[in-house]
Structure 1
Amino acid sequence: MTNIDYLELYDGHLPVETITNRWYDDFRLSNYGAIITFVGVVRDENNIDGLSFDIYEPILNSWFKSWQSKAKEKGAIILMAHSRGDVLNHQSSYIAGVCSPKRRVALELIDEFVEDFKANAPIWKYDIINGKREYALDRSTQISGAGLLS
């Protein structure tokens, strides 16, 4: 695991209870009125055995820091854990969290953050089929500013 200012990266599936319980224990006495988590679980579909992830950490760190700045303006913080490598069906690859003094701020931030994560985080997803990684092009979105002709 690596940890940079509330962004945690793990090799393999996420230990959900360990992470979410630690976040609760770390922040429950910080006078936040809301601590919200979102847990993403790999679905068993399209004959896959799981998913595999590659992460470009410099861009991810920059993207995540911009979200921390947005949250800070509202008195909140954002937490995130994500997997590198293989994650089998019914295991977690992604956890997002928001700690905020106010419920409404936390609810809005978690929604905006998870949606932006799906659209813009530099994480590439592969299907695992019969033990081999196959790029999941049909479920991928191009990152703004990426590519030779951007």
Structure 2
Amino acid sequence: MIKITEKPIDVQKVIDTASSLGAGAVNVFIGTVRNNANGKNVVWLEYEAYETMAVNEIRKIIDDASHRWPLLGWAVSHRIGTLKPGEVSVVVAVASPHRRESFEACQYIIDTLKANAPIWKKEVFEDGEEWVSARPAMAVN
């Protein structure tokens, strides 16, 4: 499952979709909106996405992860629109036979998604707003 949505993410559904009876580990990353950034109070975030391209890019990331680690299941959901502090912005879940692969694959997927998927974030503060670039590109083995 790859889902870009304006509605709140059903975290349990993401976990259930990724889960497998053959898995010894299910790893879940839940990204939430924090109430501060760079010493300023965050009032809300606005996420925008080029949805078709984002889904295609996430699919490529999952395909790559599936070749690197023995994934038995996976699911990704990302919110767009206006989100307030405390709300869930992204959930990545992966299932694998062992915990090490599960941790590594989950981290790879979220880090690569943040670096490559066309999903943009604007932080709105009490005294202004700022578009935030995705996490800087990183070397991934």
TM-score by length of 2: 0.78
Counterpart residue number, 1:3: none
Deviation at 1:97, TM superposition (A): 1.1
State whether residues 7 and 79 of structure 1, in contact with CA within 8 Å, keep that contact through their aligned partners in structure 2.
yes
Kindly indicate whether structure 1 or structure 2 has the higher relative contact order, using CA contacts under 8 Å at least 6 residues apart: 2
Aligned residues: 131
Equivalents in 1 of 2:79, 2:31: separation in Å? 11
Superposition pairs of residues 10-49 of structure 1, within 5 angstroms: 10-12=5-7, 14-15=8-9, 19-45=10-36, 46-49=40-43
Deviation at 1:111, TM superposition (A): 1.3
CA distances 1:34-77 after superposition (whole Å, capped 9, x unpaired): 11111111111122211011001122122111122123323314
Counterpart residue number, 1:56: 50
State whether residues 2 and 59 of structure 2, in contact with CA within 8 Å, keep that contact through their aligned partners in structure 1.
no
Matched letter for residue 65 of structure 2: A
- RMSD, aligned CA: 2.5
Matched letter for residue 34 of structure 2: R
Q: Do the aligned partners of residues 71 and 141 (structure 1) sit closer, same or farther apart at CA in structure 2, a change above 3 Å counting? A: closer
Equivalents in 2 of 1:43, 1:57: separation in Å? 24
Counterpart residue number, 1:7: 2
Matched letter for residue 41 of structure 1: T
SS in 2 for 1:111: helix
TM-score by length of 1: 0.74
Matched letter for residue 57 of structure 2: W
Matched letter for residue 63 of structure 1: E
State whether residues 36 and 97 of structure 1, in contact with CA within 8 Å, keep that contact through their aligned partners in structure 2.
yes
Equivalents in 1 of 2:117, 2:105: separation in Å? 16
Matched letter for residue 81 of structure 1: S
Counterpart residue number, 1:140: 133
Counterpart residue number, 1:103: 99
Q: Which runs of 5+ in 2 are unaligned?
A: none
Matched letter for residue 38 of structure 1: F
Equivalents in 2 of 1:111, 1:124: separation in Å? 19
Q: Do the aligned partners of residues 68 and 124 (structure 1) sit closer, same or farther apart at CA in structure 2, a change above 3 Å counting? A: same
Counterpart residue number, 1:147: none
Q: Which runs of 5+ in 1 are unaligned?
A: 1-5, 145-150
